[in-house]
Amino acid sequence: MAVTDAPPAAAPQPAVAPAATSSTEPPPGGLAAVLGSGDHKVVGRLYIGFSLFFFLATLATALLVAIDKIDGTLGDTILNADTFNQVLTFRSTSLVFLFLVPATLGLAMVVVPLQVGANAIAFPRAAALSFWGWLVGSGLYIASYLMNGGPGGGRFKGVSLWATSFTLLAAALILGTISVATTVLALRAPGMSLRRVPFFAWSMLVAGSIWILSLGVLIGQLVLLYVDHRYGQRTFGANGEVMFRRVQWTVHQPQVYAFAAPALGFIADVVPVAARNRQGRRDVVQWALAAFAIFGFGAFVQVTIYSDVTRDPVYKAMAFLAVLPVLALIGGWIGTFREGRPRVIGPLVSGLAALLALLAAVLVGAIGAINRFDLSGTLFDEAQAHFTLYGAAIAVLGGLGYWATKVAGRSLSEAGVRSAAVILLLGTVLYALPDALSGAFGDGAETATGIEWLNAVSAAGIGLIALGVLAAIGTLLGGLRGRGDQPSDPWGGHTLEWLTASPPTFANFEEAPTVRSAEPLLDEEPEPEAPTSEGTA
């Protein structure tokens, strides 16, 4: 049987059938168990915790850059010109590789095995190795900048360390992604075909496939940069701007769509639960999620990075086509709400906030791909990336609120989740929209700095984003202080993760599940009452 085929056919009833309980004994507790654990829930929590810490560091550098740009010049307010360029490149890459991708991957490591009914993640030791590799790579990556490295840094060994640590980061994330994607392909519960896979797990499969391909290309590019820098600087030279351009495609359109695709998967899981209705036309939703991820493959952009990328027909087509799956998803979700009994829950507010930011991202991206507007290379590109990446960040933080009982074993305050989402959306708009306006209506100098008063608005926006992230972390920490038994299903969920205890046991399920639809928890029906003596007379 190929791994992409459906697992063995499920028995016709019941929807969740008992099977043999796993005999795997949980590991001993303590710090040693955490450091050596292959439990996907422990590894996922470590990914999430450290990525949130690095997110705060990234926001601090973004705030420095925004304040330095307020007067419309580069590197003369807080940072000097050389330091400004280094902080600018760190801000861009750390948002993706120190926060968004690892945080998404960590959330998936906890949730995806539960969603597909697996007792463990595929290749658990490889998943653990991916975290420790990423953590070591992150530390070395930050150290390379602190020692005046990074692309174009003033210290030779620092530049070499930047390329080496960046390669380690990409390799570690590929390894973790392989574990998650293989779990969806090979460890699904009996009866769960790919058409029945929950949307978040499906989005991790399709987006993860693009991550593996694109990050593999990034590693090849970094190897070339390292060899050239280490042995003569003949091809790319010592110019930091040239070096960064060889990897800049990873933090711009269209590649950022691939990194944001799981955000749409999260929204697709929350909407039917909030609507108290099954998602109609699941195949359309699945194909739209897959299309958005596919249109996010951006490795080909590196070959045109020195020219006007908007003249590349493939780039233009992908920019316009990326709008279609988002519109298709919105249409499908409106229908689900219309036919259901909608309610407003905290994660839904996060999902809608993320959706608005991502809708703005694809519209800005499509406009930027029109040649006649001549927006390539201006702050319009930055605006598109920020709408995409911070919109996805809103979804990740909303996902922590939605799956908090599985991730942290505690419920979070819905008011806190809602407030953080609203603050983050407002901050994202104030941060990205001024850059879009500067790029569209500036006189040409706005390739990096923007119009002065708009720069001040943008600085206020990144400050508001930092406030929203602190509010989200505060809500999470407040939830961790809670006590008492937690409900296994606080939302009336539809998929298998809500069948497990909160927090899940070591083997995830006390009884191995068997499913017969995409919403197995909705298939459970109460047993008919036994007839009374009067009824049988």
- 536 lies in some domain: no
Residue 449 confidence class, pLDDT cut points 50, 70, 90: confident
pLDDT at 100: 97
- Residue 50, pLDDT > 80, answer yes
The neighbour count for residue 256, using CB atoms within 10 Å, is: 27
pLDDT at 535: 41
- Residue 387, pLDDT > 90, answer yes
Q: What is the mean predicted confidence (pLDDT) over 185-209?
A: 96
Distance between CA atoms of residues 311 and 330, nearest Å: 30
Residue corresponding to tokens 């003949």: 234
pLDDT at 240: 58
The two three-digit tokens of residue 204, written as one number: 């991790």
State pLDDT tens for residues 148-177: 888 877 888 888 999 999 999 999 999 999
Residue 447, Cα to own-chain centre: how many angstroms?
28
The two three-digit tokens of residue 528, written as one number: 């008919």
The two three-digit tokens of residue 42, written as one number: 């422990």
pLDDT at 62: 94
Asked whether 171 and 140 are in contact (CB, 8 A), the reply is: no
With both helix axes pointing from N to C terminus, report the angle between 346-368 and 313-321 in degrees, rounded to the nearest 10.
150
88 vs 235, more confident: 88
- Coil, strand or helix at 441: helix
pLDDT averaged over every residue in the chain: 87
pLDDT at 223: 93
- 31 lies in some domain: no
- 197 lies in some domain: yes
State pLDDT tens for residues 317-335: 999 999 999 999 999 999 9
Distance between CA atoms of residues 528 and 309, nearest Å: 65
By residue range, what is the domain housing residue 214?
Answer: 36-510
Residue 294 confidence class, pLDDT cut points 50, 70, 90: very high
- 5 lies in some domain: no
Poorest-pLDDT segment among 54-58, 148-152, 420-424: 148-152
Alpha-carbon torsion angle 337, 341, 344, 349, nearest 10: -20
Q: Which of 104, 101, 110 is nearest to 43 (CA)?
A: 110
Q: Where are the beta strands (DSSP E) in 103-248?
A: none
- Residue 339, pLDDT > 80, answer yes
> Which is it for the CA torsion 125, 131, 137, 143, positive or negative?
negative
The two three-digit tokens of residue 433, written as one number: 């929209």
Poorest-pLDDT segment among 264-273, 416-425, 509-518: 509-518
pLDDT at 15: 44
Residue 150, Cα to own-chain centre: how many angstroms?
25
Alpha-carbon torsion angle 283, 403, 383, 452, nearest 10: 160
Distance between CA atoms of residues 506 and 324, nearest Å: 41
Share of the chain above pLDDT 90, in %: 63
- Residue 11, pLDDT > 50, answer no
Distance between CA atoms of residues 495 and 325, nearest Å: 23
Residues 6+ apart with CB under 8 A from 300: 314, 315
pLDDT at 148: 87
Asked whether 40 and 109 are in contact (CB, 8 A), the reply is: yes
pLDDT at 231: 83
pLDDT at 2: 44
Residues 6+ apart with CB under 8 A from 253: 298, 319, 365, 368, 381, 384, 385, 388
- 2 lies in some domain: no
The two three-digit tokens of residue 96, written as one number: 């993706």
Distance between CA atoms of residues 107 and 283, nearest Å: 24
pLDDT at 237: 63
Q: What is the mean predicted confidence (pLDDT) over 501-525?
A: 86
The neighbour count for residue 158, using CB atoms within 10 Å, is: 18
- 10 lies in some domain: no
- Residue 433, pLDDT > 60, answer yes
Q: Which of 190, 24, 169, 51 is nearest to 108 (CA)?
A: 51
Question: How many domains does the chain divide into?
Answer: 1
- 522 lies in some domain: no
DSSP 494: -
Residue 16 confidence class, pLDDT cut points 50, 70, 90: very low
Asked whether 170 and 259 are in contact (CB, 8 A), the reply is: no
pLDDT at 25: 55
pLDDT at 14: 43
- Residue 72, pLDDT > 80, answer no
- Residue 18, pLDDT > 90, answer no
Asked whether 256 and 97 are in contact (CB, 8 A), the reply is: no
pLDDT at 484: 64
Residue 218 confidence class, pLDDT cut points 50, 70, 90: very high
- Residue 255, pLDDT > 50, answer yes
Q: Which of 169, 80, 65 is nearest to 458 (CA)?
A: 65
Asked whether 414 and 344 are in contact (CB, 8 A), the reply is: no
Poorest-pLDDT segment among 362-366, 373-377, 469-473, 506-510: 373-377
pLDDT at 4: 46
Q: pTM of this prediction?
A: 0.90
Residues 6+ apart with CB under 8 A from 534: none
Q: Which CATH number do you get for residue 480?
A: 1.20.210.10
The two three-digit tokens of residue 252, written as one number: 């711009």
Q: What is the mean predicted confidence (pLDDT) over 407-412?
A: 91
- 515 lies in some domain: no
Residue 80 confidence class, pLDDT cut points 50, 70, 90: confident
